[in-house]
Amino acid sequence: MTAALVAGLLAGYGIALPVGAVAAYLVALTARTSLRIGVFGALGVATADGLYALIAVVGGSALTPLIEQIVLPLRWASAALLVALAMQGGATAVHRYRSRQATIRIDEPPPTPVRAYAVLLAITMMNPMTVVYFAALVLGSEVTATADRPQQAVFVIAALAASASWQLLLAGGGALLGRALTGPRGRLLTAMASSSLITALAVHLLVTAP
């Protein structure tokens, strides 16, 4: 049981630690809204990682070939959604700065916690390489390959907890960033920087596609 716990924690951190477009969007979302919304977004990302860990444990060897056939369309869909969110965030920031409503936020209310959770869950679920990653770990590990149902459950829960802890740390960083840059110009600069970063990472997602 301990081995499954350690394997799950390592797997969860292994997929969560690399900072990509989703992580950048999570930080930017928290910075311009609130920690509460960022926490729900972080839990959306962690839920997707946990679901993919569950899929890999239950039937990763059978599902991996099927997923590999739709990797490219899902990559394009994920990149397109991220670019759309980046453009929306940048355009909103420019509008608020020009109308001096950066701190009032009358023209566009922040997303609800449920919506933040759903959006981050959907974006993360569009990354099929996550289940391929977990499947490779499951198939290549003696611990998980021979695990019974309780051990598999421990593996999945540990992976979910590891991902959640890192995503919540990113959300906390976004909240600190938002508090440090409360002026109109600061919010504009950070919004444009985050939009540019998200777009660049989305393009990189396509460029590096096999």
Choose between 60 and 7: higher pLDDT. Answer: 7
> CA torsion sign, 135 to 139 to 143 to 149?
positive
Judge whether residue 181 has pLDDT over 90: no
By the 8 A CB rule, do 42 and 120 touch?
Answer: yes
Overall pTM > 0.75: no
In the chain, % of residues over pLDDT 70: 62
CA distances for 62 relative to 83, 127, 135, angstroms: 32, 18, 9
Please, what is the average pLDDT of the chain? 75
- Parent domain of 69: 2-207
Is the confidence at residue 187, as pLDDT, over 70? no
The count of domains in the chain is: 1
pLDDT at 107 over 50: no
In this predicted structure, the answer to whether residue 166 has a pLDDT above a threshold of 80 is yes
Asked whether the predicted pLDDT for residue 197 surpasses 70, the reply is no
Using pLDDT thresholds of 50, 70 and 90, give the confidence band for residue 102.
very low
Confidence class of residue 161 from pLDDT cuts 50, 70 and 90?
very high
At residue 105 the predicted structure's pLDDT band, cuts being 50, 70 and 90, is very low
Q: What pLDDT sits at residue 144?
A: 56
For 110-170, give the DSSP string: PPPHHHHHHHHHHHHHT-THHHHHHHHHHHH-HHHHT--HHHHHHHHHHHHHHHHHHHHHH
Summarize pLDDT for 32-91 with one digit per residue, the tens.
Answer: 888 999 999 999 999 998 888 887 777 755 655 665 666 677 667 767 766 777 787 777
Closest CA to 196 of 95, 126, 93, 113: 93
**How much is the pLDDT for 29?**
87
Reply yes or no on whether the pLDDT at 103 is more than 50: no
**Nearest CA to 7 among 178, 142, 201, 164?**
142
Phi/psi at 76 (5° precision): -65, -40
115 backbone dihedrals φ, ψ, rounded to 5°: -65, -40
**Percent of residues in the chain assigned helix, strand, coil, to nearest 5:** 85, 0, 15
